[in-house]
Amino acid sequence: MSIQIKDVQTILTQPAGSRLVIVKIITSDDGLYGLGCATFTQRFHAVHTAIEQHFKPFLIGRDVDRIEETWQMLMVNGYWRNGPVLNNAISGVDQALWDIKGKRAGMPVYQLLGGKCREGAAVYGHAGGDTPEAVVDSIRQFEEQGYRYIRCQMGGYGGKASTLVKPEGAPEGAYYNRKEYMMNHLRMFEHIRAEMGFEVELLHDIHERLHPIEAVGFAKDMEEFKLFFLEDALAPEDIEWFRHIRQQCATPQAMGELFNHPHEWTPLIEGRLIDFMRMHVSQMGGITPARNVAAFGQMYGVRTAWHGPGDTSPVGHAANLHLDLWAPNFGIQEWCRFPEHVYEMFPGLPEVRNGYMYPSDGPGLGIDIDEDLAAKYPCANEVIGWTQTRLPDGSPARP
């Protein structure tokens, strides 16, 4: 006898800065439900509306076992597709159905995908500071906690410009200077390697802050520092320039957290123009497409490095981990380090020990939510400031 979707609920909560969107699918089997991550923190109301007003009436009464069919139909039922709002909404449903499938089977999701290739997933943390010396201190703190892969940023994305001359009447915004950012970070990495050698694996995120030709030159200049990878050297609109980066240097490239459409990542993987795929699993539509693209990347030697910031919910981090444990071409997992009360809110949240992330090994995604506690942290509306990036003359720039 099949089990149907009885109800679809959306839980909004903001326990640690980012507004989180959790989908809860309740089934006709009493007590059986699944959780999924639909977090698009900058536009959480839009995702909430899509789920409650459009997806819920479409889903109620459908068979919970038909994950693939449900994913395909949700993708095309609105006719226009592959945008961040609907992709995140689809992801919440998709992850919740995988969670239910695992609970019905009495297995973790990684078993349904094909079983483990590893016992734990290596993670990286985010070191930072306003000076090269402060960044080194931050790296050492991570090393003391067992991290062996560490992303390094100085002064935030794009750096903090010390010689910024704005025109009169320039609007407010997150200003940065491209040339100063590049020179400061080259000096920073030179200092890190001089102080710490080449044992520690270092990563860096450009965050699309450069013009394409500057990104080519910066990637070439960074080659001597032997990065584990350089992230988001280009904006999605400029991905054709990865070919020029590849022709100029051997700095490993990671890309994809802003991607929505398969045609954004397909040419980069087929052309072996990137080394790590960085897609945000809820942004691409959930476990179903992530499983497929991981298998696709395996054929071309491209490894996974799923996006894992604070605006991936704990449920989303659990989904990332199940993919990490299974994928033969796993590379690394970004980790944001949640505070203790988030572990209380999300029982079964994956734990990191000595630089590796481990699952709870409960069935499904192995994670739950305390809805009463989540309700104590309501989402707050705000106008996002850090994505209002500007060049010295006030021109809008990529985030």
CATH of the domain at 263: 3.20.20.120
Q: Indicate if 86 and 122 belong to the same structural domain.
A: no
pLDDT of 50 higher than 90: yes
- β-partners of residue 150 are 125, 202
Q: Indicate if 138 and 240 belong to the same structural domain.
A: yes
Q: Judge whether 207 counts as a catalytic residue.
A: yes
Active-site annotation holder among 124, 147, 149, 157:
157
Q: Indicate if 90 and 177 belong to the same structural domain.
A: no
pLDDT tens-digit map of 74-124 = 999 999 999 999 999 999 999 999 999 999 999 999 999 999 999 999 999
| Residue 85 Cα distances to 35, 49, 196, angstroms | 18, 10, 43
| 3-state SS, residue 61 | coil
Q: In angstroms, how far is the first alpha carbon of the chain from the final one?
A: 50
Mean pLDDT to the nearest integer, 35-39: 98
5-13/20-27 β-pairing: antiparallel
Active-site annotation holder among 185, 204, 207, 307:
207
Structural domain contains residue 154: yes
Q: Indicate if 174 and 304 belong to the same structural domain.
A: yes
Q: Indicate if 81 and 179 belong to the same structural domain.
A: no
356-358/174-175 β-pairing: unpaired
Distant-in-sequence, close-in-space partners of 306: CB < 8 Å, separation ≥ 6: 277, 278, 279, 280, 281, 290, 320, 323, 324, 333, 334
Side-chain half-sphere CA neighbours of 309 within 13 A: 17
Mean pLDDT to the nearest integer, 371-392: 95
pLDDT of 188 higher than 90: yes
Can you read off the two tokens belonging to residue 105? 């089977």
pLDDT of 164 higher than 90: no
Of the ranges 153-157, 160-164, 250-254, 303-307, which one carries the lowest mean pLDDT score?
A: 160-164
| Residue 172 Cα distances to 39, 167, 168, 343, 394, angstroms | 28, 12, 12, 37, 8
CB 280 within 8 A of CB 311: no
The mean pLDDT value of the chain amounts to 97
pLDDT of 398 higher than 90: no
Structural domain contains residue 99: yes
Side-chain half-sphere CA neighbours of 253 within 13 A: 30
Give me the pLDDT at residue 160, please. Answer: 80
Give me the pLDDT at residue 255, please. Answer: 98
Residue 159 banded pLDDT, cuts 50, 70, 90 = confident
- CA angle, 310 then 314 then 317, to 5°: 85
Q: Indicate if 244 and 209 belong to the same structural domain.
A: yes
CA distance 374 to 220: 46
Give how far the C-alpha of residue 89 lies from the chain's centroid of Cα atoms, to the nearest Å: 16
Structural domain contains residue 77: yes
Give me the pLDDT at residue 23, please. Answer: 98
Domain harbouring 71, CATH code: 3.30.390.10
Q: Indicate if 230 and 333 belong to the same structural domain.
A: yes
Q: Indicate if 277 and 188 belong to the same structural domain.
A: yes
pLDDT of 161 higher than 90: no
Structural domain contains residue 385: no
- β-partners of residue 145 are none
Structural domain contains residue 93: yes
Q: Of the candidates 108, 130, 149, which is a domain's last residue?
A: 108
Torsion of CA 45, 394, 386, 136, to 10 degrees: 160
Structural domain contains residue 159: yes
Q: Indicate if 241 and 301 belong to the same structural domain.
A: yes
Mean pLDDT to the nearest integer, 121-139: 97
Give me the pLDDT at residue 42, please. Answer: 96
Q: Of the candidates 108, 129, 145, which is a domain's last residue?
A: 108
pLDDT of 25 higher than 90: yes
Structural domain contains residue 370: no
Q: How many domains does the chain have?
A: 2
Please state, for a pLDDT cut of 90, what percent of the chain lies above it.
Answer: 97
Can you read off the two tokens belonging to residue 141? 């703190």
CB 304 within 8 A of CB 324: yes
Residue 21 banded pLDDT, cuts 50, 70, 90 = very high
Q: Indicate if 61 and 172 belong to the same structural domain.
A: no
Residue 61 banded pLDDT, cuts 50, 70, 90 = very high
Higher pLDDT, 3 or 158: 3
Instruction: Put the strands of the sheet holding 33-37 in their side by side order.
Output: 5-13, 20-27, 33-37
pLDDT of 271 higher than 90: yes
pLDDT tens-digit map of 198-234 = 999 999 999 999 999 999 999 999 999 999 999 999 9
- CA angle, 213 then 151 then 202, to 5°: 80
Q: Indicate if 93 and 196 belong to the same structural domain.
A: no
Check residue 29 and report its DSSP letter. Answer: S
Q: Indicate if 207 and 349 belong to the same structural domain.
A: yes
Give me the pLDDT at residue 162, please. Answer: 78
Task: Tokens 């990191």: give the residue.
Answer: 352
* Domain around 296: 112-364
pLDDT of 399 higher than 90: no
Structural domain contains residue 119: yes
